[in-house]
């Protein structure tokens, strides 16, 4: 499975962006999907995850500002980001836990999309 993230860009503080992650390839099932981010000089961190049943989990730093959603038919995941601040500047990666046709469980990662928030 290949994941392709899009929707990043440059935005002023207080603005909004919507990230999308589309998947392609053959897979038996995708379980949890999520978004992670990595700022310069920092470790990659969880932003939000969502189960196939729609249960979402958020990092404390984004609660109330970001909303994760998914389209199970398309194996796509989205991240609506509102009230952005410069601390949200990072490369955002989408992630999916997939079950292959041979029933192996694997983690898949997209290449990332840059989000830059100016003050």
* 106 contact partners, CB below 8 Å, separation of at least 6: 97, 98, 99, 100
What's the pLDDT band for 114 if we cut at 50, 70, 90? very high
What's the pLDDT band for 11 if we cut at 50, 70, 90? very high
DSSP secondary structure letters along 62-81: TTTTEEEEEETTTTEEEEEE
pLDDT tens-digit profile of 17-52?
999 999 988 889 999 999 999 999 999 999 999 999
| Rama region for 111: left / alpha / beta (φ>0; ψ in -120 to 50; rest) | alpha
CA–CA distance, 83 with 119 (Å, rounded to integer): 12
Task: Give the pLDDT of residue 4.
Answer: 94
Question: Which of helix, strand or coil describes residue 31?
Answer: strand
pLDDT tens-digit profile of 48-107?
999 999 999 999 999 999 999 999 999 999 999 999 999 999 999 999 999 999 999 999
pLDDT over 90 at 108, yes or no: yes
């Amino acid at each position: 499975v290949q994941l392709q993230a899009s929707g990043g860009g440059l935005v002023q503080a207080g603005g909004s962006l919507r990230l999308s992650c589309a998947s392609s390839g053959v897979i038996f099932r995708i379980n949890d999907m999520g978004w992670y981010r990595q700022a310069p000089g920092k470790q990659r961190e969880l932003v939000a995850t969502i189960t196939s049943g729609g249960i979402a989990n958020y990092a404390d730093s984004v609660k109330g500002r970001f909303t994760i959603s998914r389209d199970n038919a398309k194996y796509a995941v989205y991240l609506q980001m509102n009230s952005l601040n410069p601390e949200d500047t990072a490369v955002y990666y989408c992630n999916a836990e997939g079950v292959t046709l041979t029933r192996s469980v694997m983690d898949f990662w997209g290449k990332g999309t840059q989000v830059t928030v100016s003050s």
